[in-house]
């Protein structure tokens, strides 16, 4: 039987269930990654599970998010992460070594392997031919403990690529084109697999840009074949022994196929405040730009940085525009320094930031009030830059650099011939900032600062819930809306009681106070509730405030899983029933154990006198997790 690449890898890793559309399967996880914004809680949960060493082939802990150390909290978390990694058999990538997805692509990713990461952009690994999936930290902790990772068998969306990109057009324009066509909901319940002749023209970093932003499509993950281009990249990283050829069989069947001629793609730009609000760059040409940021896990590769350096060489950034650049890894920064490209970047007046996530999640570099900030990043959610009224635009490094030079949004095709950048035959290799696990783990003393609080657990599921509807929100509510990103909040990620005070702060500043006052409570949302980051704090922090149910028209995949993992009922309701609800309504849900079993509930709105139906779309395993009051409780019951 002819198989897609996804089917081949899933079959090789299947430990529970069958590859039947819509069924739940458990797959073996080969590798995991964590980052410091979600990792501290992940390792606290791993400790709570009670094993003494990870059971994956490879697990890596990265520090790349919370690197702005304005107080002791982030530094304490980093020391905790380093010590717990040493004791549990985890590699530790030190602050300054680079962004997790870029470094993992360079030093650890292996075609055909499975990778689970506590970051939604773990999907970057698909550029190497991996099944790489973002998940909540608790799911990653359970995988590190040796358990399978469970997913519903997704539909397979095949993207047939033909042709080659034109000069000045890049991989970022490819994924923005797909976002314009498919929207942020277009990949929900799907894995995107790229195939056909156009694939051959794309380098691994270009493929990784596309799979990285597959997360913005809502897709479970995205994947490219492992071919000669993959071998060349791994050989240049002195890892050719990790290469295996992998591709779909000729004539393999996909649930859906869309075609994209790369030669027809033009420079594209996403306007505020959604990655799918995309138009051609030419439509906005001439719009003043106050700030430009180039980097992030999406566009900080050697090829991206060298292209930007070539564009900046001998020129000066426009007087009215600030340009900030973040190389993706220490490897890339070292190579830029050695070949002189760093001098071109600095000489043009760019501000060089460390090899970290930085401005992408509001860690410094907040623009001026009302600014237009143009970024080569992956998300442009409202206020994500750290400035509430700034307009965030997303574009390729080429468009960003061109606009930094002119002071206005500029189609790079107007600049003449682009720099000609060749991928290196040999990257500079120095893994001295990746610390291996301790030889004597029993001698490791785990460091715990005063800001680190225990992992939360919910009480067992109640028979009934009398809930106050604390908040009613619309479509596409992001995890940034629920639990904010940014420099003010990230140091609190390991201190849930403190972080919970900021839940929905940008939507309703009174939410946390009211939630505690009227607990237990509920939230009602529209379509795609919880899109964006994998951060489980968007479930844990509301849980701490007494939220016990979220009623929504539809949920984003990772957030739905996180709600289940922490024992919060993710109830699906009709649009008309959502529209009829009002903040402050008193809702009664009875017979909860029976309702979980039947996957449906009657919700009594005691304020309006109207009843309505709610559905629960969970697997049998997830139903058991909810009955137990969350995944930690469930794992404990399984171990007894």
Q: pLDDT tens for residues 149-190?
A: 999 999 999 999 999 999 999 999 999 999 999 999 899 999
Q: Is the residue at 452 inside a domain?
A: no
Token pair belonging to 120: 């939604």
pTM of the model: 0.92
> What does residue 265 show for φ and ψ, rounded to 5 degrees?
-75, 140
Task: Quote the pLDDT of residue 396.
Answer: 98
Contact 86, 104 (CB under 8 A): no
Residues 246 and 313 in one domain: no
Residue 257 and residue 284 in one domain: no
Q: Which of 565, 557, 553 is nearest to 614 (CA)?
A: 553
Which structure tokens are listed for 613? 């139906």
CATH code, domain carrying 144? 3.30.499.10
Q: Are residues 131 and 234 in the same domain?
A: yes
pLDDT on residue 413 = 97
Predicted pLDDT of residue 532: 83
Question: Mean of the per-residue pLDDT values for the chain?
Answer: 95
Residue 52 carries which DSSP code?
A: S
pLDDT at residue number 227? 98
pLDDT value for 315 = 97
Alpha-carbon distance of 560 to 630, in angstroms, equals 13
Domain match, 315 and 212 both: no
The pLDDT of residue 454 is: 85
| pLDDT, tens digit (0-9, with 9 covering 90-100), for 384-404 | 888 889 999 999 999 999 999
> Residue 352 phi/psi, 5° resolution?
-90, 120
What pLDDT, on a 0 to 100 scale, did the predictor assign at position 14? Answer: 98
Beta pairing class for 291-294 and 372-375: parallel
The CATH number for 550's domain is 3.20.19.10
Last residue of a domain, one of 393, 413, 433: 413
Residues of the chain with pLDDT under 50: none
pLDDT, position 639: 62
Identify the H or E element spanning 522. Answer: strand 521-525
Last residue of a domain, one of 230, 264, 298: 264
Cis peptide bond prior to 520, omega within 30° of 0: yes
For 420-456, b/e burial (b = at least 16 CB within 10 A) is ebebeeebeeeeebbbebeeeeeebebebbebbbebb
Distance CA 153, CA 135 (A): 16
Question: Does residue 73 sit within a domain?
Answer: yes
The answer to whether 455 and 39 have CB atoms below 8 angstroms apart is no
Residues 360 and 299 in one domain: yes
Range of the domain at 99: 5-264
The pLDDT assigned to 640 comes to 57
Q: DSSP E strands: which ranges in 318-464? A: 322-325, 351-352, 372-375, 391-394, 434-435
What pLDDT was estimated at residue 458?
Answer: 87
In a domain, 453, yes or no: no
Count: domains in the chain: 3
What does the alpha-carbon distance between residue 627 and residue 464 come to, in Å, rounded to a whole number? 12
User: Does one domain contain both 144 and 30?
Assistant: yes
On whether both 173 and 244 belong to a single domain, the answer is yes
> What pLDDT is recorded for position 412?
98
Classify strands 610-615 and 600-605 as parallel, antiparallel or unpaired. Answer: antiparallel
Position 418 in a domain: no
User: Number of C-alpha atoms within 13 angstroms, CB side, residue 397?
Assistant: 31
- Does any domain span residue 442? no
Whether residue 228 is found in the same domain as residue 295: no
Among 264, 296, 331, residue at a domain's last position: 264
The residue written with tokens 């690994």 in the block is 125
Q: Do 469 and 379 lie in a common domain?
A: no
Shared-domain flag, residues 203 and 181: yes
Measured distance CA(371)–CA(353) in Å, rounded? 20
Residue 440 lies in a domain: no
Instruction: Looking at the structure, tell me whether residues 258 and 277 fall in a common domain.
Output: no
Domain assignment present for 184: yes
Residue 445 lies inside a defined structural domain of this protein = no
Residues 183 and 228 in one domain: yes
58 touches 239 (CB < 8 A): no
């Amino acid at each position: 039987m002819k198989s897609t690449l996804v089917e081949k890898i899933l079959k090789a890793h299947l430990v529970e269930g069958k590859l039947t559309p819509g069924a739940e399967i458990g797959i073996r996880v080969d590798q995991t990654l964590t980052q410091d914004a979600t990792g501290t809680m992940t390792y606290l949960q791993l400790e709570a599970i009670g094993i003494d060493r990870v059971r994956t082939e490879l697990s890596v802990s990265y520090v790349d998010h919370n690197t702005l150390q304005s107080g002791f909290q982030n530094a304490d978390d980093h020391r905790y992460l380093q010590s717990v990694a040493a004791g549990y058999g985890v590699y530790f990538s030190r602050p300054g070594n680079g962004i997790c997805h870029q470094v993992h692509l360079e030093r650890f990713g292996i075609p055909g392997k499975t990778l689970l990461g506590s970051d939604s952009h773990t999907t970057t690994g698909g550029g190497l031919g991996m099944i790489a999936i973002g998940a909540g930290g608790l799911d990653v902790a359970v995988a590190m403990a040796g358990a399978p990772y469970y997913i519903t068998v997704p539909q397979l969306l095949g993207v047939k690529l033909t042709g080659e990109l034109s000069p000045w057009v890049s991989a970022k324009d490819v994924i923005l084109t797909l976002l314009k066509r498919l929207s942020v909901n277009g990949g929900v319940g799907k894995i995107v697999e790229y195939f056909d002749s156009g694939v051959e023209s794309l380098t691994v970093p270009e493929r990784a840009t596309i799979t990285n932003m597959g997360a913005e499509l809502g897709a479970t993950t995205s994947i490219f074949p492992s071919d000669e281009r993959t071998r060349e990249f791994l050989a240049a990283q002195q890892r050719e022994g990790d290469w295996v050829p992998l591709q779909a069989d000729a004539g393999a069947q996909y649930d859906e196929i869309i075609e994209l001629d790369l030669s027809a793609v033009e420079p594209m730009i996403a306007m505020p405040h959604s990655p799918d609000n995309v138009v051609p760059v030419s439509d906005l040409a001439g719009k003043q730009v106050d700030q430009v940021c180039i980097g992030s896990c999406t566009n900080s590769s050697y090829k991206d940085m060298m292209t930007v350096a070539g564009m900046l060489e001998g020129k000066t950034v426009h007087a009215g525009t600030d340009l900030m650049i973040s190389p993706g890894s220490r490897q890339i920064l070292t190579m830029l320094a050695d070949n002189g490209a760093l001098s071109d970047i600095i000489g043009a007046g760019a501000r060089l930031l460390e090899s970290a996530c930085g401005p992408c999640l509001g860690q410094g570099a907040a623009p001026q009030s009302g600014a237009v900030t143009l970024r080569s990043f992956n998300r442009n959610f409202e206020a994500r830059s750290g400035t509430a009224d700034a307009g965030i635009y997303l574009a390729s490094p080429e468009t960003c650099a061109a606009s930094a030079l002119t002071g206005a949004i500029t189609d790079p095709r107007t600049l003449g011939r682009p720099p000609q950048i060749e991928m290196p035959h040999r990257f500079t290799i120095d893994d001295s900032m990746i610390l291996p696990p301790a030889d004597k783990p029993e001698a490791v003393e785990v460091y715990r600062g005063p800001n680190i609080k225990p992992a939360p657990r919910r009480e067992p599921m109640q028979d009934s819930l009398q809930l106050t509807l604390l908040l009613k929100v619309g479509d596409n509510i992001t995890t940034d809306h629920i639990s904010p990103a940014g420099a003010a909040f990230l140091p609190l990620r390991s201190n849930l009681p403190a972080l919970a005070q900021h839940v929905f702060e940008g939507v309703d500043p009174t939410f946390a106070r009211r939630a505690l006052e009227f607990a237990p409570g509920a939230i009602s949302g529209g379509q795609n509730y919880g899109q964006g980051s994998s951060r489980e704090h968007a479930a844990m922090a509301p849980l701490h405030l007494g939220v016990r149910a979220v009623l929504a028209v539809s949920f984003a995949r990772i957030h739905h899983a996180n709600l289940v993992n922490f024992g919060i009922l993710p109830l699906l309701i009709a649009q008309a029933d959502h529209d009829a609800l009002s903040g402050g309504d008193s809702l009664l849900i009875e017979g909860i154990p029976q309702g979980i079993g039947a996957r449906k509930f009657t919700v009594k709105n005691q304020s309006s006198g109207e009843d309505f139906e709610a559905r629960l779309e969970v697997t049998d395993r997830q139903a058991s997790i909810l009955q137990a009051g969350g995944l930690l409780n469930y794992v404990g019951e399984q171990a007894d």
